[in-house]
Structure 1
Amino acid sequence: MIVWLSFFCIFLSRSVSAQSPFPTFLQGTWKVVNKDSYEHWNQVSDSELKGMSYAIKNGQKIISEYLKIRKLGNKVIYSALVIGQNNGKEIDFELSYKDSTYSFSNVAHDFPKHIRYTRLEGDRLHISVEGKSGEGHTFDVHKIINELPSENTKYDGSLANKLGADDYGMKSYIFVLLKTGQNNTTDKQLINESFKGHMENIARLVKNGQLIVAGPFGKNDSSLRGLFILNNITTIEQAKELLQTDPTIKNGLLEPMYYTWYGSAALAEYLPFSEKIWKKAH
């Protein structure tokens, strides 16, 4: 499946090892020459950039993908989440540098396998997107003064800050799938006490603002039992530690699978309404 990767990434003036991979000039809006295709980036921390690529059609902004550039140990990783492709999963490409060209590569991916960027004079870049044996396409982009073509007149900065939203109204969560665990015990007391504690722990995490979505799946062939969306938890390691407070997980009755997920920062706003619509407690 083709991943249409954005036309802009990291460009350093020397070697990756000699400088920070997150220079401030990456922020802003870039435009494909002679096309209404754009990309916009924001620096959200010293080690991460977030962005999106989009087109303007009939005066409307059509987002095609959400993007990330982050430093992981000694590596620089560029990730693309393309809407409608790859089952909603990010595709990662690793940075390498040679002869003034910055290449992000993932040879295991079908297309593209390499995205190569060369900085030209002024605020211009030359990009090549390559598959096997070098087939692909090239194009040029330039930085534009105005950032996004239009601003949101309904924007509430105080609310956005309260919810931890970025400039696109989005934030990162930890998405947890719960499947049947390896513990096949028939000890009814252990099972009942564990699932009672499971529900009590859910209520505690919601109260602490650490859990905003929880619920069971119907019967399925994948042994999936339920899901969590964890809020204000920044790493999978933190999520694993947090969920050891759940006795069904600690006792091996449920097994969690962890994923990073990028979604609307407004998700938590439904919680006050949820308290008004139930008649019976779980």
Structure 2
Amino acid sequence: MQYFGLMTAAVLLVAADVPAPPAPNWMAGAWIERKDDRWAEEYWTAARGGMQMGSSRSGTGARLESWEFARIAPDRDGRLAYFASPLGKAPTVFRMTRQDALSISFENAAHDYPKRIRYWREGRLLKAEISGADGANAKAWTYRPMGE
């Protein structure tokens, strides 16, 4: 029984040293969505030093309606997370729940809305969606590279 306890402790120590998965560099770039006179923009740096930084803004015509700073980086526990700071507020942390070659999802069950943030690529497009934990009340964006 003591052997099992030592093995469990060793596994936990090794797991604690495992670095967070890399940030999704496929999000890097300047992105825009236009629908009639409504627009939304996102800008993402390439990951460097374990962090990927982003900003967004949206509006109608010449009017700015919303803006946000964000970053994707390891949280205090070393897990990859999305830190959202809408309108300059203190960041809300959404932990990564799923990642593959061209998609990533983050969740925070304690947050009012959204509870889930997803990004994925479809060819040249960057797609984004926010929703409840079960996918309800989804809002989605389809971004094209800026200047296209």
Map 1:154-233 → 2, pairs under 5 A: none
- Pick the aligned partner of 1:117 from 107, 116, 119: 119
Per-residue deviation at 1:53? 1.0
Are 2:75 and 1:102 equivalent residues in the alignment? no
Q: Which amino acid aligns with 1:124?
A: L
Q: CA separation of 1:37/1:74 partners in 2, compared to 1, >3 Å: closer, same or farther?
A: same
Q: Which residue number in structure 2 is paired with residue 67 of structure 1?
A: 70
Give deviations 1:124-183, integer Å, cap 9, x for gaps.
Answer: 234332225432123232232449xxxxxxxxxxxxxxxxxxxxxxxxxxxxxxxxxxxx
Task: Give the Cα–Cα distance (whole angstroms) in 1 for the partners of residues 39 and 105 of structure 2.
Answer: 25
Map 1:86-101 → 2, pairs under 5 A: 88-97=89-98, 101=103
Give deviations 1:61-103, integer Å, cap 9, x for gaps.
Answer: 665111111124641110111117xxx3210101122687521
Task: Give the Cα–Cα distance (whole angstroms) in 2 for the partners of residues 44 and 133 of structure 1.
Answer: 29
Give deviations 1:7-49, integer Å, cap 9, x for gaps.
Answer: xxxxxxxxxx8962242x4222112352411111224733112
Report if the CA contact (8 A) 2:43-2:55 is conserved. Answer: yes
* TM-score w.r.t. length of structure 2: 0.66
What is the DSSP-based 3-state SS (H/G/I as helix, E as strand, rest coil) of the residue aligned with 1:45?
Answer: coil
Larger Rg: 1
Task: Give the Cα–Cα distance (whole angstroms) in 2 for the partners of residues 44 and 77 of structure 1.
Answer: 13
Q: CA separation of 1:144/1:18 partners in 2, compared to 1, >3 Å: closer, same or farther?
A: same
Task: Give the Cα–Cα distance (whole angstroms) in 1 for the partners of residues 33 and 131 of structure 2.
Answer: 18
Task: Give the Cα–Cα distance (whole angstroms) in 2 for the partners of residues 129 and 43 of structure 1.
Answer: 22
Report if the CA contact (8 A) 2:31-2:126 is conserved. Answer: no
- Unaligned runs of 5+ residues in structure 1 are 1-16, 148-282
Q: Which amino acid aligns with 1:115?
A: I
Q: Which amino acid aligns with 2:97?
A: S
Q: Which residue number in structure 2 is paired with residue 40 of structure 1?
A: 43
Report the aligned-residue RMSD.
3.2
Which structure has more relative contact order (CA 8 Å, sep 6+)? It is 2
Identity %: 25
Q: Which residue number in structure 2 is paired with residue 21 of structure 1?
A: 23
Q: Which residue number in structure 1 is paired with residue 6 of structure 2?
A: none
Corresponding pairs, count: 126
Task: Give the Cα–Cα distance (whole angstroms) in 2 for the partners of residues 52 and 134 of structure 1.
Answer: 24
Q: Which residue number in structure 1 is paired with residue 9 of structure 2?
A: none
| Larger strand fraction of residues | 2
